[in-house]
């Protein structure tokens, strides 16, 4: 990315980090009640330890023949290094399977999810590794173009996917955008080749067009994510009895008078049908 953009266009921290753990065999280590709720991606929402807010725990399946799960606890914190130091991990991106470190993770989760039913805290008893991930995203296309590397316009070089327009995992679209980018890039290269007179200059021109197209189609989702970057305010100040997924999306309490929330609520109702395709969100 630095070939095309300066450090001013690097990804920036969203104010959230994920305490992520690997759960090797949740159907053996989780209760029958929880196991029955597991699917491709499952979310659990419950009361914060002080009862004043709401906590979020996500389970995401990976692997086919021997499926495992990533167990993530979303944490809003301005300085993620504080969490790393508290857990005594080796660096923010360091993954550990040290038994003592994993026990510190379990102790931390026990305190943070103290108001959850015990079965949900016990999910972490079966973890085999853990790490802290800072959630980042790239700036908008308009902002990135203010920080291009001098002379890079003429280079036959193009980034795609997260290398060009990274979004947080809760955007739900990064993988789709990457596949779209790859497909459109391959198509463009074939078309350029078929012209018979392609050159470094013509490829560079085409790449700048694609770079703009690839970036701009992520902008709506990027704006939506930016709206929710401060959802720590909604999550931390909304008791579970008042919690609504629409509020989680729009970062404010539900209101029929808010057009954005009505639209988000409608879309949430439509996507509720995804439960029949093994997706779901559970509220404790």
Supply the pLDDT for residue 221.
82
CA distances from 182 to 148, 176, 199 (A): 22, 10, 21
Phi, psi (deg, nearest 5) at residue 22: -100, 125
Q: What is the mean pLDDT of the chain?
A: 82
Decide which of 208 and 270 is more confident: 208
pLDDT in the model for residue 229: 61
Question: What strand order describes the sheet that includes 127-137?
Answer: 127-137, 12-23, 68-76, 54-62, 41-47, 279-283
Question: Residue range 262-284: average pLDDT?
Answer: 50
Residue 216 burial (C-beta neighbours within 10 Å; 0-12, 13-18, 19+): middle
Best-predicted range by mean pLDDT among 35-44, 112-121, 225-234, 250-259? 112-121
Ranked by mean pLDDT, the top range of 177-181, 243-247, 277-281 is 177-181
pTM of the model: 0.74
Q: How confident is the model over 126-166, as pLDDT tens digits? A: 899 998 988 899 999 999 999 999 999 999 999 999 999 99
Residue 112 banded pLDDT, cuts 50, 70, 90: very high
CA dist., res. 34 & res. 52, Å (int): 25
Residue 104's pLDDT band, with cuts at 50, 70 and 90, is very high
Beta strands 127-137; 279-283: pairing state: unpaired
Element (H, E) at 69: strand 68-76
In the predicted model, is pLDDT for residue 220 greater than 50? yes
Q: Is the pLDDT of residue 92 over 70?
A: no
pLDDT for the residue numbered 151: 94
pLDDT by residue (tens digit) across 29-45? 777 777 777 777 788 88
- How much is the pLDDT for 44? 86
């Amino acid at each position: 990315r630095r070939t095309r953009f300066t450090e001013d266009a690097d990804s920036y921290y969203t104010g959230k980090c994920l305490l992520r753990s690997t759960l090797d065999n949740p159907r053996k280590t989780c209760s029958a009640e929880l196991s029955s709720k597991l699917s491709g991606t499952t979310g659990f929402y419950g009361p914060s330890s002080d009862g004043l807010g709401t906590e979020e725990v996500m389970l995401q399946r990976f692997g086919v023949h021997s499926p495992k799960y990533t167990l993530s606890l979303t944490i809003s914190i301005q300085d993620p290094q504080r969490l790393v130091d508290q857990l005594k991990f080796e660096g923010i991106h360091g993954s550990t399977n040290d038994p003592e470190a994993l026990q510190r993770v379990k102790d931390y989760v026990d305190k943070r999810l103290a108001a959850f039913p015990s079965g949900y805290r016990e999910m972490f008893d079966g973890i085999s590794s853990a790490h802290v991930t800072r959630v980042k995203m790239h700036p908008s296309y308009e902002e990135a173009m203010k920080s291009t590397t001098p002379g890079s316009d003429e280079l036959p070089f193009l980034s795609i996917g997260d290398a060009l327009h990274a979004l947080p995992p809760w955007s739900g679209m990064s993988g789709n955008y990457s596949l779209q980018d790859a497909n459109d890039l391959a198509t463009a290269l074939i078309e350029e080749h078929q012209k018979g007179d392609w050159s470094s200059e013509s490829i560079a021109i085409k790449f700048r067009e694609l770079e703009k197209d690839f970036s701009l189609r992520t902008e709506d989702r990027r704006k939506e994510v930016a709206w929710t970057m401060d959802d720590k305010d909604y999550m931390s100040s909304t008791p579970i009895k008042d919690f609504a997924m629409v509020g989680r999306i729009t970062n404010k309490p539900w209101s029929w008078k808010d057009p954005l929330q009505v639209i988000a609520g409608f879309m949430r109702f439509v996507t509720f049908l995804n439960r029949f395709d093994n997706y779901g969100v559970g509220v404790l």
